[in-house]
Amino acid sequence: MRDLEAKIRVGERINFDEALSLYDWDLFTLGQLADAKRRERYGNKSFFNINRHINPTNVCKDVCKFCAYSASRKNPNPYTMSHEEILGIVDGIVDRGIKEVHIVSAHNPEAGLEWYLQVFAKIKAKYPSVHVKALTAAEVHFLAEQYAKSYDEILDLMIEYGVDSMPGGGAEIFDETVRDYICKGKVTSQQWLEIHRKWHERGRESNVTMLFGHVEKREHRIDHMMRVRDLQDQTGGFNAFIPLVYQSENNFLHVKEFITAHEILKTYAIARIVLDNVAHLKAYWVTSTVSLALVAQEFGADDLDGTIERESINSAAGAASAHGIDLAQFVGLIKNSGFTPVERDSLYNEIKIW
Ligand code: V47
């Protein structure tokens, strides 16, 4: 343990076995190491943004066992918003201080490619300064298949229609056996990574998530991080790694044992140590709870995502995020936890120290 600890302290890269062995360490040693890494980069700063999530349709051709959002027997409530409805949501966003709209939909085979794309152009035409973060690699794959286009064509269309960056959704767990079990039929791990590679090759940035705390094992999480680290070595296009804690309600994945806060914090800390080439580690308060996200700031996380306003995907599965979080409350909580809240834009340029 001492050799590995020294290696981590001096910033030497660790391999799969070493990373996996970190789970056997005590939480506080791991926390100290991850906190040192975080403080080397950002000191006491904790980043967040003022953003708005929009989930325009829940009609989906895929059936992911963990998903409570898509219209199904457990959520018999299909909807598809019109562009007018979506534009109604974004009306006044600039006045509300919002700098980013984060648009993620289900894979709706009846909506049409133009429906998916035009909304970005319309938002940009009305609010050119607002950053549009939209279309997960899972959606890109769906659109490419549905409309017989290549990934290159879809990615070029996204740029043409005003998408600024890609969110990290749809990565789930890259291990093929687990992936097959939890979301067979949607974008494969290789395809997910290929789409992000192509996006980065266009000079664009994105995030990467990892859905954990369900049926995966520790080694699958480390494998996921290693695949992210490999691609990041080649492209440098990922801004943030976002571990998403599995929410258990209203879905078809039967998980018997829930992950503990202890294991979640270890996972953040290990991610901070392993992903030496990804600048930011996001404790997404929606899935971790706000309380644990605040603690995660001392276990390597430097970013808490944002105010969100509305959230449908994780709240459908039990997260307390349906109405976002109040800005003043969010800032107050970060301050009271001993950190300096720094509002950032979507690409992590600092906007304001609160
Ligand atoms: O891809 C679905 C996940 C993701 C559940 O890029 C679930 O900045 C937990 O990707 N329990 C969408 N998670 C959200 C997402 C995201 C969120 C915040 C910021 C960014 C970013 C990206 O939600 C899906 C899926 O992995 N998800 N169901 C569930 N039951």
Atom of ligand 1 nearest to the CA of 248: 30
Please compute, for residue 145, the number of CA atoms within 13 A of its CA located in the half-sphere on the CB side. 16
Distance 6 CA to ligand 1 centre (A): 35
Query: Comparing 195-204, 273-282, 316-325, 329-338, which segment has the lowest mean pLDDT?
Result: 316-325
What interhelical angle do 151-161 and 137-146 show, nearest 10?
Answer: 110
From the CB of 242, is ligand 1 less than 6 Å away? yes
From the CB of 192, is ligand 1 less than 6 Å away? no
Question: How sure is the predictor about 150, in pLDDT bands with cuts at 50, 70 and 90?
Answer: very high
pLDDT digits (tens, 9 = 90+) for 172-214: 999 999 999 999 999 999 999 999 999 999 999 999 999 999 9
The protein residue with its alpha carbon nearest to ligand 1, atom 17, reads 169
Distance 343 CA to ligand 1 centre (A): 22
pLDDT digits (tens, 9 = 90+) for 283-316: 999 999 999 999 999 999 999 999 998 888 899 8
The protein residue with its alpha carbon nearest to ligand 1, atom 21, reads 167
H/E stretch holding 36 reads: helix 27-42
pTM assigned to the model: 0.97
Q: Do 258 and 286 touch, CB atoms closer than 8 A?
A: no
Residue found by looking up tokens 């598809």 in the block: 80
Closest CA to 62 of 215, 179, 194, 224: 179
pLDDT for the residue numbered 72: 82
Q: Do 168 and 202 touch, CB atoms closer than 8 A?
A: no
From the CB of 170, is ligand 1 less than 6 Å away? yes
pLDDT digits (tens, 9 = 90+) for 61-88: 999 999 999 998 788 899 999 999 999 9
Question: How sure is the predictor about 257, in pLDDT bands with cuts at 50, 70 and 90?
Answer: confident
Question: How sure is the predictor about 92, in pLDDT bands with cuts at 50, 70 and 90?
Answer: confident
Rounded CA separation 112/143 (Å): 9
% of the chain beyond a pLDDT of 90: 91
pLDDT digits (tens, 9 = 90+) for 212-223: 999 999 999 999
From the CB of 54, is ligand 1 less than 6 Å away? no
Closest CA to 173 of 253, 107, 113, 117: 253
Mutate to test the pocket of ligand 1, among 75, 314, 344, 346 (most ligand atoms within 8 A of CB): 314
Q: Do 19 and 274 touch, CB atoms closer than 8 A?
A: yes
H/E stretch holding 133 reads: strand 131-134
The protein residue with its alpha carbon nearest to ligand 1, atom 28, reads 67
* Maximum Cα interatomic distance, the chain, rounded to a whole number of Å: 60
DSSP class of 259: P
Look up the CATH superfamily of 2-8+30-353.
Aldolase class I (3.20.20.70)
Please determine, for residue 1, whether its predicted confidence score (pLDDT) is greater than 80. no
From the CB of 269, is ligand 1 less than 6 Å away? no
H/E stretch holding 132 reads: strand 131-134
What the block records as the tokens of 132 is 């549009």
Rounded CA separation 305/310 (Å): 13
Please determine, for residue 321, whether its predicted confidence score (pLDDT) is greater than 90. no
Burial of 352 (0-12, 13-18, 19+ CB in 10 A): exposed
Question: How sure is the predictor about 29, in pLDDT bands with cuts at 50, 70 and 90?
Answer: very high
The protein residue with its alpha carbon nearest to ligand 1, atom 10, reads 169
DSSP class of 306: E
Closest CA to 58 of 78, 35, 34: 78
